[in-house]
Amino acid sequence: MSRFLTPHAVSLPSTVPFTGPETLERQSGIPFRARLGANESVFGPSPAAIKAMEEAAAGAWMYGDPENHDLKQALAAHLGISPAHVAVGPGIDGLLGLICRLTLEPGTPVVTSLGAYPTFNFHVTGYGGNLTRVPYKGDHEDIDGLLAAARTTKARLLYLANPDNPMGSHHPAAVIEEMVANLPDHTLLILDEAYADLAPQGTVPQIAPDHPQVIRMRTFSKGYGLAGARVGFAITNPDLALAFDKVRDHFGMSRLSQAGALAALADQAWLAEVRSRTLAARARLSGIAHSNGLLPLPSATNFVTMDCGRDGDFARRVLAEMGARGVFIRMPGVAPLDRCIRISLGDDRALDSVEETLPQALKAAG
């Protein structure tokens, strides 16, 4: 290991939260015919967004606007808030890293759920934070348990995804609003709303954008179908939004990404079409689960988590057998959630592949 690394950096594992499908293809030598493990939108971005990025490509020799001015203005108008309440960054993952950089020192207490989105844990560990992980309550993140842990540990950060990844569950808006009302004074809530654009009505809470203890995370990766463009944004009080400028890469957003996000945001008709196709795909994928003896959990996202009815070892065998048949899926990584597999929604061709291979994989795994 390089002698120039800090002792903390040396102690960290050389790993990433998710192994990409491209890596898995290289390792196995089997190309995926259905890419349904990363919760990308197989339905794709708005045609207007594609056109805008094509037109912006000729200007790729220029850096993107370091202030993300036009995108901030458009997001503020769309959300009914001021541009000062918005921070833009390279996906929610990038923004989470910046939040941890701004708020954590070695040993700073942080609370999250056991088995929740691991990229947050990756950033917390990278900056030396001390993680407390609260088990799920059934298939939902335990709101009362998270608040209790935040009080006990004096946590500076509390992370919650609503809707949730990897289980696909959600808490109604009123539950989240009550959680915010009961936050300890010393705790900042990071509310990850990556799937909010696809969630059922009544999921997104009413939280004042000036709230001093809440930072909401949104993305263009899911409903808008721009995962590869890496565009995320935070909604928070102006002081905290401005703090991102202290540490962010000022040229971190490409001109193509900015142009694509602006056009996607303007095309709300396309987002409505994606929502409609999402509902149909959820219903079909849930039906495939039922027909194979699996229990599909209610989903507020662009994936369906399926309870395999056995233990994590069995679910891992199903995952491997699906991959061997060219279908990329994922699963929760922590017991008892790891009794499940998780399959992203897709178009008819992708779901045809699931319908064909899932019974074969279950038979081989069993």
DSSP symbol at 339: G
Q: Which residue has the tokens 């002792």?
A: 7
CA distance 89 to 93: 9
Choose the final residue of a domain: 251, 267, 283: 267
Q: Could you tell me the pTM of the whole model?
A: 0.96
Tokens of 350: 């992708």
Nearby residues of 17 by Cβ (< 8 Å), 6 or more positions away: 118, 119, 121, 122
Choose the final residue of a domain: 241, 267, 293: 267
Domain harbouring 78, CATH code? 3.40.640.10
CA distance 359 to 354: 9
What are the two backbone dihedrals, phi and then psi, of residue 174, each rounded to the nearest 5 degrees?
Answer: -60, -35
Nearby residues of 274 by Cβ (< 8 Å), 6 or more positions away: 41, 43, 198, 223, 224, 225
CA distance 145 to 133: 10
In Å, how far from its chain's centre is CA 199?
13
The one-digit pLDDT tens for each residue of the chain (366 residues) are: 688 999 999 999 888 888 999 999 999 998 999 999 999 999 999 999 999 999 999 999 999 999 999 999 999 999 999 999 999 999 999 999 999 999 999 999 999 999 999 999 999 999 999 999 999 999 999 999 999 999 999 999 999 999 999 999 999 999 999 999 999 999 999 999 999 999 999 999 999 999 999 999 999 999 999 999 999 999 999 999 999 999 999 999 999 999 999 999 999 999 999 999 999 999 999 999 999 999 999 999 999 999 999 999 999 999 999 999 999 999 999 999 999 999 999 999 999 999 999 999 999 999
Same structural domain for residues 174 and 289? no
Choose the final residue of a domain: 267, 292, 313: 267
CB-CB contact of 37 with 330 (8 Å): yes
Same structural domain for residues 106 and 122? yes
CB atoms within 10 A of CB 211: 16
Same structural domain for residues 312 and 326? yes
Q: Tell whether 22 is covered by a domain.
A: yes
Same structural domain for residues 150 and 260? yes
Number of domains observed in the structure of the chain: 2
Q: Tell whether 284 is covered by a domain.
A: yes
Tokens of 146: 């998270």
Which residues constitute the domain of residue 246? 56-267
Same structural domain for residues 31 and 169? no
Same structural domain for residues 162 and 27? no
CB-CB contact of 252 with 89 (8 Å): yes
The DSSP bridge pattern shows strands 130-134 and 157-161 to be: unpaired
Cα dihedral 161/166/171/177 (nearest 10): -10
Same structural domain for residues 288 and 361? yes
Same structural domain for residues 278 and 252? no
Q: Tell whether 49 is covered by a domain.
A: no
Same structural domain for residues 322 and 257? no
Name the residue among 146, 150, 149 with its Cα closest to residue 162: 146
Q: Tell whether 51 is covered by a domain.
A: no
Same structural domain for residues 14 and 113? no
Q: 119-154 as b/e, with b when 16 or more CB fall inside 10 Å?
A: bbbbbbbebbbbbbebebeebebbbebbbebbeebe
